[in-house]
Structure 1
Amino acid sequence: MQAPLPVDRLVEEWLLWATWQRDPQNHGRHNDDLIGFDEFDWVVRKHPEHAWQSIVATVSDPRAEPFLGVLAAGPMEDLLGYHGPSFIERVEVEARRNPQFAWMLGGVWQCQMSDEIWARVQKVWDRRGWDGIPK
């Protein structure tokens, strides 16, 4: 059984990938040397507790600020879609405690989340600045 990367390394690898993919020159290209996207995706599915810790750590890293929309629409959205009942209470607590986390939640869409989980996300998210909503 494969063990996930340590949280700090997963965050680092994901930030390397996010930085690379944001460059317009790389649009539509794939870089096999960057494992951050695939590793985070796997961790969300197979090691959700580790994924939660990695999401919180990523939000707390100042370098991640330009990529919080990608974090929201990827790992956070998927964690809630696959494992929402196990994590929604922690999401609510973290959103009330951490404005940056609440703002990141503003970029989450319902996708695979149950209506109940989705309603709870909407109660704690901060949508200011998303989809043309004034800050």
Structure 2
Amino acid sequence: MPYAVKLTSDTGIELLLAERNGDPAHGYLLAALAPQEFDDSYDNSYAPPGIVLPPHSGPAATAITDTYLPAYRGALHERRLDAVVTALERLRDEYDTAAAIRGPGSPVTAPRSPAAHGWR
């Protein structure tokens, strides 16, 4: 891959654009880079697949804006939604564990903050 560039938007989208077969006449390859908020994005099932862009700027821009970016945004939304669901499941497990430790009929309350104890 002789030439490649990382494209970054003001919204945090990072894309990799590379020449295909080392010749601009063959078009370009476009793929997403994982947002920094995800540290486990290698081999991620949510990542949209890269696409081959035509060598001409008009059709390439259309492919990016009409096809790739909507797929990228959808994949990012699904990834974030999965992170929220995973966190909620973890909280539910912790709540159930606390309820089991306290015993039946005992309410599970959140631990009091240090400020509630007069600590600073």
TM superposition score category, shorter chain reference: under 0.3
Structure having the larger proportion of residues in strand: 2
Give the TM-score, by structure 1 length.
0.21
Give the TM-score, by structure 2 length.
0.23
Q: Which has the larger radius of gyration?
A: 2
Structure having the larger proportion of residues in helix: 1
Ranked by relative contact order (alpha carbons within 8 Å, sequence separation 6 or more), the top structure is 1
